[in-house]
Amino acid sequence: MVRNFLFSVIATLLLWGQSALAQDSVYVQIEAQPSLTAAEDRLRDYASELSDVNGFDLGRGWYGIALGPYPRSDAENVLRSLRAQRLIPGDSYIEGPERYGQRIWPIGAGPATVPAISAPEITAAPEPEPQQADETPREARASEAFLTREEREALQIALQWAGYYNSAIDGAFGRGTRSSMAAWQGDNGFEATGILTTAQRAELFRQYNAVLEGMDITPVRDTRAGIAVDLPLGAVSFSRYDSPFAHFDPTGAVDGARVLLISQPGDRDRLAGLYEIMQTLDIVPLEGPRDRNRDGFTLTGQNNRIVSHTEARLSDGAIKGFTLVWPAGDEDRRTRVLAAMQSSFAPIEGVLDPAVIAEDSQSVDLVSGLAIRKPKLTASGFFVDRQGRVATTDTAVANCGRITLNSDYNAEVMATDPALGVAVLRATQSLAPNDVAQFRDGAPRLQSEIAVAGFSFGGVLPSATMTFGRLSDLSGLNGENTLSRLAVTTLDGDAGGPVLDDGGAVIGMLVPHDAGGRQLPDNVNFATNSAALQQVLTLAGVSPQVTPGLARLDPVDLTEKATAMTVLVSCWE
Candidates 451, 454, 472; CA nearest to 550 is 451
Q: What is the pLDDT of residue 280?
A: 85
Report which secondary-structure segment, H or E, holds 15: helix 5-16
Q: What is the pLDDT of residue 257?
A: 95
Let me know if domain 137-210 sits in CATH 1.20.120: no
Beta bridge partners of 103: 56
CA distances from 496 to 114, 177, 266, 278, 311 (A): 75, 63, 42, 30, 39
Let me know if domain 374-573 sits in CATH 3.10.450.50: no
Q: What is the pLDDT of residue 130?
A: 44
CATH architecture type of domain 217-371 = 3-Layer(aba) Sandwich (3.40)
Domain boundaries, the chain: 21-126, 137-210, 217-371, 374-573
pLDDT tens, N- to C-terminus, the chain (573 residues): 334 434 443 443 343 333 333 346 899 999 988 888 888 888 988 988 898 999 988 877 788 999 999 998 888 888 888 888 888 887 788 888 888 888 888 865 556 664 444 444 433 444 444 444 468 888 888 888 888 898 999 999 999 988 999 999 999 999 999 999 999 999 999 999 999 998 899 899 888 888 888 899 999 999 999 999 999 999 999 999 999 999 999 999 899 999 999 999 999 999 999 998 898 898 998 889 999 999 999 999 999 899 999 999 999 999 999 999 999 999 989 999 999 999 999 999 999 998 877 655 444 445 677 877 788 899 999 999 999 999 999 999 998 988 999 988 999 999 999 999 999 999 998 888 999 999 999 889 999 999 999 998 887 777 899 999 999 999 988 889 999 999 999 999 999 999 999 999 999 999 997 755 567 788 899 999 999 999 999 999 999 999 998 999 999 999 999 999 999 999 988
Q: How far apart are CA 559 and CA 96, in angstroms?
A: 71
**Can you tell me whether residue 414 is helix, strand or coil?**
strand
Is residue 275 within 8 Å of residue 292, measured between CB atoms?
yes
Is residue 532 within 8 Å of residue 475, measured between CB atoms?
no
Is residue 527 within 8 Å of residue 482, measured between CB atoms?
no
Candidates 370, 389, 393; CA nearest to 380 is 393
Degrees to nearest 5, angle at CA 274 with 270 and 278: 175
